[in-house]
Amino acid sequence: AQKVTQAQTEISVVEKEDVTLDCVYETRDTTYYLFWYKQPPSGELVFLIRRNSFDEQNEISGRYSWNFQKSTSSFNFTITASQVVDSAVYFCALTPTGKLIFGQGTTLQVKP
């Protein structure tokens, strides 16, 4: 069975704090892809990152960083020095077959 779990339903931080969003996945496939998408209050889904199962290198993009650990089936997302504009719902997703399986999302509120 394929499944993505985002255990944190809501997180609230004060601007400039660092915050980590957790994502744990389940799959029996050896080849798969993991994604993070952002859904701001306007409603669109914005692609953030794609990672394949053979590439465990961590990635940093500006204030965003991702930690992929196959040993724990986790693909966590950290925002450094959060800003109010980071307030959104963040979705982790898995695809072994092309069909994206989404987690339930984590609502991040960054207060000024």
Partner 1 sequence: DAGVIQSPRHEVTEMGQEVTLRCKPISGHNSLFWYRQTMMRGLELLIYFNNNVPIDDSGMPEDRFSAKMPNASFSTLKIQPSEPRDSAVYFCASGRNRWETQYFGPGTRLLVL
- Binding residues for partner 1 (CB under 8 A): 33, 35, 37, 43-47, 50, 91, 95, 97-105
State which residue, 51 or 82, has the beta carbon closest to partner 1: 51
Distance between CA atoms of residues 71 and 24, nearest Å: 11
| Minimum CB–partner distance for residue 10 and partner 1 (Å) | 14
Token pair listed for 54: 């053979």
| Minimum CB–partner distance for residue 16 and partner 1 (Å) | 30
State which residue, 82 or 93, has the beta carbon closest to partner 1: 93
CB-based contact 39:105 (threshold 8 Å): yes
